[in-house]
Structure 1
Amino acid sequence: MKRETAQVPFGYEPPVRTVKGVLVFYDSFDSGDIEELEQELAAALETARQRSFTKLVLYPLHEETLRRMTKTPAAPYHKREKTLIAWKQGFGSSLVTLESWEGRRKKYTPFEAAVRHLEEIYGGPLFLYVTPEMANRLAGYDAFKEAIKRIRLILSAAPEAPHPNLEQFRSRWDVAGEALADPEERYNRH
């Protein structure tokens, strides 16, 4: 193989490596209180800005997916989507994107299929922003052990009683409000 040499000026230092990725807010967005939902969205947006993500993708789950996950009824998908669209337009940030794949599918979407779709569309590295309850639900799936190897989780708060699978992969998730000693540490942890 032919080698290529490059000349650089004296004192040249390579630019600092910045790892950017996509933060996906994976949630039902079915909060009865609009102000509470707006606070959750603002916290996710703040996390995306602090950690220099290229995009914040809002990924609302279809009511069939929620029915299988939580066993409780949820508001119709189109109503939750309209709320998110209104928040996004009112906020006016180009950083925020709304992913409506589950709305077009109109049926149950397994977690691993959603992760695969997000990887195909947005590339990597892929980070999921989830609540502690959602993280525990996802950790209960068989596909979690394979999916967590390809993604990282950012939890909105520390879980009170983490699922054993979540505890097993502690190096693959952190809490949004916790500051790491070294910002590069979160990318270098195994």
Structure 2
Amino acid sequence: MSDIAQKVPFGFEPEADIRKGTIIFYDSFEHISGRELDMAASITRERSFAKLVLYPLHEQTVKRMSKEPVSALYKREDKLFEWKKEQGGADIVIERLEAKRKKYTPIDAALRHLTESYPLPAFLLLTGETANQFASYSSFEEWIGKIRLILLEEPNPLHPRLERNRHRWESVT
């Protein structure tokens, strides 16, 4: 606390911050276009979230999750930094945990780090394919009670755990 006395008018109450929570965009960002990133930014603004966190996955993580080849993490991060610069958003963060670890990071460890580091409540923004993969993990039941999901598109076919927890997620398309 500061030792400097501040003067305020009688009855002054500081403005309450109406922006709360975090949207976490968890993806490899290999096939995500500027349109999807713009959609994530508009959801953040429309729903008054405090932060949009972009979480690009390391090559090893993508390899274990989907077996699809991806470009190097630094190249995908460069595209995200360019997009962020165009947006000029101070409320957009590109999380670099996987760049620091330089290896496979389980989704549990990533979500634990993200929920401890950023304001709650946490909403996880996923593609339909990634949502089905997340639902196939045993820890999904634990995490679906702590976070909510926003899907860019509804997966077809829908994983049974997603179907069972339909009240905890929504599709934006």
Q: TM-score, normalised by structure 1?
A: 0.79
Matched, 1:146 2:145: no
% identical equivalent positions: 48
Q: Which residue of 67, 72, 75 maps to 2:68?
A: 72
Matched, 1:23 2:19: no
SS of the residue corresponding to residue 36 of structure 2 reads helix
Query: What does the per-residue CA deviation read over 1:66-125, in whole Å, with 9 as the maximum and x for residues that have no partner?
Result: 000001111110110011011101221112111011111111111111110001100311
Amino acid at match of 2:84: K
Paired residue total: 158
SS of the residue corresponding to residue 83 of structure 2 reads helix
SS of the residue corresponding to residue 69 of structure 2 reads coil
Structure 1: gaps spanning 5 or more residues: 1-17, 178-190
Question: In the aligned structure 1, how far is the partner of 2:150 from the partner of 2:172?
Answer: 6
SS of the residue corresponding to residue 56 of structure 1 reads strand
Residue 162 of structure 1 is matched in structure 2 by 158
Contact 2:22/2:121 (8 A) holds in 1: yes
Q: TM-score, normalised by structure 2?
A: 0.86
4+ residue runs over 3 A deviation: none
Matched, 1:46 2:14: no
Contact 2:19/2:50 (8 A) holds in 1: no
Contact 2:124/2:147 (8 A) holds in 1: yes
Residue 6 of structure 2 is matched in structure 1 by none
Question: In the aligned structure 2, how far is the partner of 1:70 from the partner of 1:97?
Answer: 25
